[in-house]
Chains A and B, each alone.
Chain A
Amino acid sequence: MSALQFPRERIIGIYRSMRLIRRFEERLMEEMSTGDIPGNTHLYAGQEASAVGVCLALREDDYISSTHRGHGHSIAKGCEIDAMMAELFGRATGTCAGKGGSQHIADLRKGMLGANGIVAGGAPITCGAALSAKLRGTEQVAVAFAGDGAMNEGVMAESFNLAKIWMLPIIFVIENNGYGEATANAHVSAGSFTRRAEGYDIPTDEVDGTDVFAVYEATRVAVERARTGGGPTLLHIHVPRYFGHYSGDPDTYRSADEKGEMRKNRDCLRLFRSRVEGAALLEGADLDQVEAEVEDQINQAVAAARAAPRPDAAALHTDVYVKYM
């Protein structure tokens, strides 16, 4: 079933997830200037339709692994906003008790196997989760999110091969935002990403990552394949990246024209609005209400994070091992 035929509440839910990601990231960008958030962070704004469209096609117990740009995937998979915000503020109530930070948000209870500070680092781990699901006979599917930059890491090629020979229930989602850090993808990538996967006889799809319905549809097909023993799929999803590589990036390597065009014509939230309003699935007022609720939720998460305790000093030494001595 196309996501356009979903019940009304579920379509509202799609917008809520995308809006939550957008406002979470925009708010982080603002909070950065207050100095209350340690370190830098890689923001997912602009790419929302990809994470939400993919996760919409997953079961709650399916696995995902993410990248350094991982907030969107985490939110889409169901990680708690309050805990994520607290993590970014480095608080004890955070998703990882304040010990992981932006690049290591994980929630195994939600099937979220971790963001990753190492480009392409999640691909083999996700193969392992898929193998685990296969051997345990759970019919779970695993999704490895990666960016265009990851496609030039050798471990991606190894993972494609492993996934295919073992017919693992895995989907490689390559989110191509056009830039690996500050370098244009075209400058560093030979050939085509889908043809690389096709070389391993892995089915592929090119997907418009500003269209959450298209992302859902492509993922649904891949999930069906994975769950029924058909093995891996690669989805090449084209997305815009609203901010620079990291939150402190002046982003001068992209022209004003490029950035302007992107925000004007490739805003997945605005496109969603016109799509569902045009099809008379929802009214503007429905979406306005979602926006107001999301605003409250983000405000509350920030306030709670600021009020939350920092990790106890003893936490420095704990949780290195389950048991050491």
Chain B
Amino acid sequence: MAQKSYRQAINEALHAEMARDPNVILMGEDLTGGAGGSGVQDAWGGPFGVTRGLLGAYGPERVRDTPISEAAFIGAAAGAALTGLRPVAEIMFIDFLGVCFDQIMNQAAKFRYMFGGRARTPLVIRATYGAGTRAGSQHTQALHPILTHIPGLKVVMPSTPYDAKGLLIQAIRDDDPVMFLEHKMLYDMVGEVPDRSYTIPFAEARVVRDGKDVLLIGLGRMAHIAEAAAEELARNGISACVIDPRTTSPLDVETLVEFAEKIGRVVIVDEANPRCSVAADISAILCEQCFDALKGPIRMVTAPHTPVPYAPNLEDAYIPSAARVVEAAQSLLRTR
């Protein structure tokens, strides 16, 4: 099977769906880069090169570089979705949610319910998230907990190139508003991605590796940190199971409960801040649904309750590490 980057996988999904359905349009800041300039068109191919080549294939009517007006174009995407199109809008950094949240939280997410079930809003909002880029506090957050909290939104956070393509195609074909979160540190990750189109249903967690001593649940990029921790644990004779939920809303509660019950020790790894987080939420769900099967407290390995710092040593300390996951797993195994 072909080896492709996470970036390429997303690009392929957009290509495939735009070719398949003329109602799919793209809008965002510098989706092409260079629009109206005196030099090269599609100069950037998106701020992270994800949307390169789509302008040439589908033209400026369907691939729209917007003004830096997130509230206006995210709202416009919602309105276009309500009236027959399938827009895929891009928020360059999820942090910019701060200037367009009304259109997501109060408008797009609630149309269907407020209008008595008589609306469909097939809207995808792609956004980058995550720390590790030395970009300071306003270009690095992991805000999936805020989005997961809101009824009417679906929240997807792929961790591999394969999942990115399948989940994005699923998101574009979905009839509800979907937040599609791409971790910046994963764009260059390479993995197997079929050339053909395929979908991955939401609420189907991926069992990254099976194991019997401890369950590591890793969200988004943290699935890889959990996997690295599992390798380390294996070298110490500890068998760790790793699960990537892939979507936080809807969440595959069934699989998480099944494995938590079977294994009894759970560590949840999340790059978001810890309070009112998806990690805290999964912990609460497992406590409620399989408390008796737990052999110890559920451990959360998360970012601290701070903004993301700039200095590399501080930012590195902010992001959950495999060493911290190993330590949490080992401490769980010491309790009886």
Contact = CB atoms under 8 A, between A and B. Distances in A.
A121 B103 contact: yes
Contact of B80 (A132, A154, A320): A132
Contacts of B102: 118, 121, 155
A132 B115 contact: no
B111 interface: yes
Interface residues of B, number: 45
B332 interface: no
B116 A99 contact: yes
Given A63-B83, A158-B67, A324-B250, A131 B76 contact: yes
A132 B120 contact: no
B72 A161 contact: yes
A268 interface: no
Interface stretch (A89-97, A204-212, A290-298): A89-97
A117 B82 CA distance: 18
Contacts of B115: 96, 99-100, 104, 106, 108, 114
Contacts of A318: 117
A106 B175 contact: no
B80 A161 contact: no
Interface stretch (A30-38, A122-130, A257-265, A273-281): A122-130
A125 B152 contact: no
A77 to B, nearest CB: 15
Nearest to A128: B79
B66 to A, nearest CB: 7
Contacts of A130: 79
Contacts of B152: 320-321
B69 A158 contact: yes
B79 A113 contact: yes
Interface residues of A, number: 49
A161 B87 CA distance: 20
B250 A325 contact: yes
Interface in A132-158: 132-133, 135-136, 154-155, 158
Contacts of A4: none
A9 interface: no
A108 B118 contact: yes
Interface in B40-89: 61-62, 64, 66-67, 69, 71-85, 87
Nearest to B108: A125
Contacts of B307: none
A162 interface: yes
Contacts of B117: 97, 99, 318-319
B3 interface: no
A319 B113 contact: yes
Contacts of A100: 114-116
Contact of B114 (A99, A124, A129, A325): A99
Given A104-B115, A106-B119, A155 B82 contact: no
B154 interface: yes
A322 interface: yes
Contacts of B300: none
Contacts of A154: 71
Given A124-B75, A128-B78, A117 B112 contact: no
A8 interface: no
Interface string B191-224: 0000000000001000000000000000000000
Interface string B237-264: 0000000000000100000000000000
B330 interface: no
Contacts of B175: 322-323
A134 B58 CA distance: 16
A151 to B, nearest CB: 15
Given A132-B85, A135-B61, A162-B73, A124 B25 contact: no
Given A118-B107, A129-B82, A323-B175, A124 B71 contact: yes
B297 interface: no
B75 A97 contact: no
Interface in B110-132: 111-120
Given A114-B114, A121-B107, A165 B67 contact: yes
B82 A108 contact: yes
Contacts of A320: 112-113, 151-152
B71 A96 contact: no
Contacts of B119: 106, 108
B29 interface: no
A124 B103 CA distance: 8
A118 B75 CA distance: 13
Nearest to B84: A132
A299 B61 CA distance: 50
B107 A319 contact: no
Nearest to B75: A124
A320 B119 CA distance: 10
Interface in A280-322: 318-322
Contacts of B174: 322
Nearest to B64: A166
B112 to A, nearest CB: 5
20 contacts: A65-B79, A97-B117, A100-B116, A108-B115, A108-B119, A116-B107, A118-B106, A121-B107, A125-B75, A125-B78, A128-B76, A131-B80, A132-B80, A132-B83, A135-B61, A136-B84, A161-B69, A162-B69, A321-B112, A322-B112
Interface of B: 25, 61-62, 64, 66-67, 69, 71-85, 87, 102-103, 106-107, 111-120, 151-152, 154, 174-176, 203, 250
Given A118-B107, A130-B79, A154-B71, 9 more contacts: A96-B115, A117-B106, A124-B71, A125-B75, A125-B82, A135-B62, A155-B72, A321-B176, A324-B154
